[in-house]
Structure 1
Amino acid sequence: MTDLILHHYPESPFSEKVRLILGHKQLAWRSVHVPAIQPKPDVVALTGGYRRTPFLQVGADIYCDTALVCDVLEHVQPEPALYPPHIRGVARIFAQWADTTLFWAAMSYNIQPKSAAAMFPDAAVAQAFMNDRKAMRANMTQLRPADATSAYRSYLRRIAHMADEHDFLFGAEPCVADFAAYHPLWYTRHRASSMAGILQPTPSLLEWMDRMAALGHGRAEKLSPGDAITVAQNAEPMPPGQNLLVDSAFQDDHGIPLGSEVTIAAESFGPEATVGELVAATRTHYSLRRTDPRAGTVHVHFPRIGYVLRKADPA
């Protein structure tokens, strides 16, 4: 296996989720910083359109969405486990809730006029960020700040009840649920610090956050975006069934055969589609083969849950 290359930026909450998992598994990785907003030409050269942050590159294979990245890292380093057998199902379901419902309540609370000024002192930068995220939310309904505050406060109390019982949410060791719940709270505490008072009524939650932060980020080495593209160009994508995703059997729920030209896009946040040849459609993921003038031939992988597969429109 070639190097794990994480494309991320420091303030990205979902990136913090993956950085902590890399630390928990004590993995070495290459760090590529990407822009927080468009344009992202180096990102698109690898993903074909997908621009959510982060994504993981291994040679000429590109793994999109942190849910899928978690599966890859579990395959690379099974211990300590993200999905302990006795809680595998509930941990995955909780993580999906945390990455969606909890995350959007937290972010709608975090980014309000009184906090945005501190996070983005430059008004032009603030406006560019807000416009970029508005475009990415084209298919979403966003909570109003008051509604988000109420929901977030309730969610924090419920998670704190879990932290009252154990060092981590489901026991003595962290699992995927901990990492998914942590990153939006991390954003509140460290990025939107003027809003962090909402965490104070739940001291057990703050203690849990300290234990999570102590896991660290593993062993990172900087890599430039151009060098990451060169890595892809000089590599061959791994054949379906031999890559870092565990399942390979074709599961056809769409009537779209392998070899078809298709598009894959997120259901909601980040509507940009990736176009390519469908080379895998398994129980858990899709894989597309595409060729870019700079990156060469790559395979771009997406989880099934949260993504929409369609036949590409005829040229």
Structure 2
Amino acid sequence: MLGYTGISWSSVQAPLTPPRPSIDPLVGGYRRIPVAQKGADVFCDTILIAEEIARLSENPQLSPYGQSEDLTAFLQELETDVFFACVASIPVLGVIKALLQQVPLQAIPGYLQDKKKLMSDKHLIPTTREDAKATWQRFLDQLESRLTSDFLHGYTPGIADFSAVHMVWFREKMDRQQVFKGRRLLRNWFHRMAAIGHGYRTNITTEDTLQIAAHADPRKISEQMKRSALIGATVAVGPTDYATQATHGELIGEDENRWILARDTQVAGRVHVHLPKRRFALTRLA
């Protein structure tokens, strides 16, 4: 998405499992990656990251919000049933190959233990491996049937394309023949998406990210976002599906799509942490 919009960006490679020194001091308990940072504002979950990119690029097709009813339902299915089916139906040899490529040998036991804890909510995982495989195959067939133009959004890519492609990319590395077998439109679409690239990226360090936050002021909160009865309360906000660890802070902003928490950190001073409402929950602490 950043490659498509042409927005310059910086990258910090975070460890596959916590602790993550570039993230933890800013967001606290929240443990998912990726997160995005702009100055002293941190955006959690890809749904808000996409919304920020859409806002910065002035491209509403990239926003997960304000889309058609059909597209919204498609996106929500991607985030839940399809995502877990994608993971749960990975061929055993594919898992081994991916582990050896991405995780140092000595770190594999800890990585597997972390993922076991992460997926401890049994209701998230399809009932059987066969169910997961069937859901995944239906999704691939659905993509093939939706591709009546170059992209799912028509002749230019949009949020549906960028939401779907990362799962196809993930599985394509493990079982390419099965992903594209009998799906010519899907294969061509995938190559078009891959050709977009990642844009203008520079690599920075953990210390850079903390210094950027320390030398910036958080974005101002609009008066409209200060109308909630909970403004000023100490709250915890976290995901409701998996990796449910919450971030604590003062609620300083809220609208129909997000909560904004203020956190006073030792390393960067005050930061604003933005968390989505979709599949997240807020608990008042004080």
TM-score by length of 1: 0.83
Structure 2: stretches of 5+ with no match in the other structure:
none
Distance in 2 separating the partners of 1:49 and 1:188: 29
Instruction: Indicate the residue corresponding to 2:218 in structure 1.
Output: 237
Instruction: Indicate the residue corresponding to 1:209 in structure 2.
Output: 190
The question of whether the paired residues in 2 share the 8 Å contact of 1:61 and 1:298 is answered with yes
How far apart are 1:135 and its partner, in Å? Answer: 1.9
Structure 1: stretches of 5+ with no match in the other structure:
1-20, 243-247
Distance in 2 separating the partners of 1:36 and 1:48: 17
Asked if 1:114 is matched to 2:93, the reply is: yes
Distance in 2 separating the partners of 1:274 and 1:80: 29
Instruction: Indicate the residue corresponding to 2:71 in structure 1.
Output: 91
The question of whether the paired residues in 2 share the 8 Å contact of 1:263 and 1:276 is answered with yes
How far apart are 1:198 and its partner, in Å? Answer: 3.4
For residue 287 of structure 1, what is the amino acid of its counterpart? I
Superposed CA offset, 1:156-209 (max 9, x none):
11111011x11111311111011111111110012xx24652332212111111
For residue 180 of structure 1, what is the amino acid of its counterpart? S
Instruction: Indicate the residue corresponding to 2:108 in structure 1.
Output: 126
Count of aligned positions: 281
Asked if 1:177 is matched to 2:157, the reply is: no
For residue 119 of structure 1, what is the amino acid of its counterpart? A
The question of whether the paired residues in 2 share the 8 Å contact of 1:115 and 1:195 is answered with no
The question of whether the paired residues in 2 share the 8 Å contact of 1:263 and 1:310 is answered with yes
1:225 maps to which of 206, 213, 223? 206
For residue 44 of structure 1, what is the amino acid of its counterpart? D
How far apart are 1:40 and its partner, in Å? Answer: 1.8
The question of whether the paired residues in 1 share the 8 Å contact of 2:226 and 2:252 is answered with no
Task: Give runs of aligned pairs for residues 257-272 of structure 1, distance below 5 A.
Answer: 257-272=230-245
For residue 265 of structure 1, what is the amino acid of its counterpart? G
Instruction: Indicate the residue corresponding to 1:151 in structure 2.
Output: 135
Instruction: Indicate the residue corresponding to 1:67 in structure 2.
Output: 47
The question of whether the paired residues in 1 share the 8 Å contact of 2:118 and 2:243 is answered with yes
Per the alignment, do residues 299 and 160 of structure 1 end up closer, same or farther by CA in structure 2, a change over 3 Å counting? same
- Measured on the aligned residues, the alpha-carbon RMSD in Å equals 2.2
How far apart are 1:134 and its partner, in Å? Answer: 2.1
Identity of aligned residues (%): 27
Instruction: Indicate the residue corresponding to 1:137 in structure 2.
Output: 119
For residue 271 of structure 1, what is the amino acid of its counterpart? T
